[in-house]
């Protein structure tokens, strides 16, 4: 809800949460990270900030390495799906999708 009334403040909060990996033993911290990641992606989608969304996908990969493969695959997919609602972003969407496929192959992660 804060994203609608004060997008800058919510962006800062989401960035703070996603700036560090959640503790591997804390399910609550992992859920908070996932929620902040997707919410930040949605904020960028709503504001049509394609480059910030690309950067978010790339920067989050280091944390995905500590997640289960299925969970990281799901999160990457959710982030990539956000590009569909941004007008004229098809070329960027294709590029970042190919980039994610290369990353997934290199990391031996499933990309579905």
Residue 18, H or E segment: helix 7-18
Confirm if 111 and 73 have CB atoms less than 8 A apart.
yes
Flag whether 22 is in a domain: yes
pTM above 0.85, yes or no: yes
Helices (H) and strands (E) in the chain, counts: 6, 0
Flag whether 80 is in a domain: yes
pLDDT per residue rounded down to tens, the chain (112 residues): 556 678 889 999 999 999 988 877 778 889 999 999 999 999 999 999 999 999 999 999 888 888 888 888 899 999 999 999 999 999 999 999 999 989 888 887 765 5
Burial of 79 per CB tally in 10 Å (0-12, 13-18, 19+) = buried
Q: What is the pLDDT of residue 111?
A: 58
Flag whether 76 is in a domain: yes
Q: What is the pLDDT of residue 60?
A: 92
The shares of helix, strand and coil residues in the chain, as percent rounded to the nearest 5, are: 75, 0, 25
When divided into structural domains, the chain yields a total of 1
Flag whether 36 is in a domain: yes
67, two tokens: 């997640």
Question: Domain range spanning residue 75?
Answer: 7-111
Flag whether 2 is in a domain: no
Flag whether 33 is in a domain: yes
């Amino acid at each position: 809800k804060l994203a609608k009334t004060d997008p800058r403040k919510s962006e800062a909060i989401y960035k703070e949460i996603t700036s560090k990996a959640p503790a591997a033993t804390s399910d609550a911290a992992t859920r908070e990270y996932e929620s902040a990641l997707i919410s930040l992606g949605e904020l960028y989608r709503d504001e049509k900030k394609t480059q910030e969304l690309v950067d978010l996908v790339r920067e989050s990969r280091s944390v995905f390495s500590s997640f289960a493969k299925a969970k990281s695959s799901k999160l990457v997919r959710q982030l990539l799906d956000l590009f569909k609602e941004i007008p004229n972003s098809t070329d960027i969407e294709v590029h970042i999708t190919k980039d994610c496929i290369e990353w997934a192959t290199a990391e031996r992660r499933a990309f579905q």
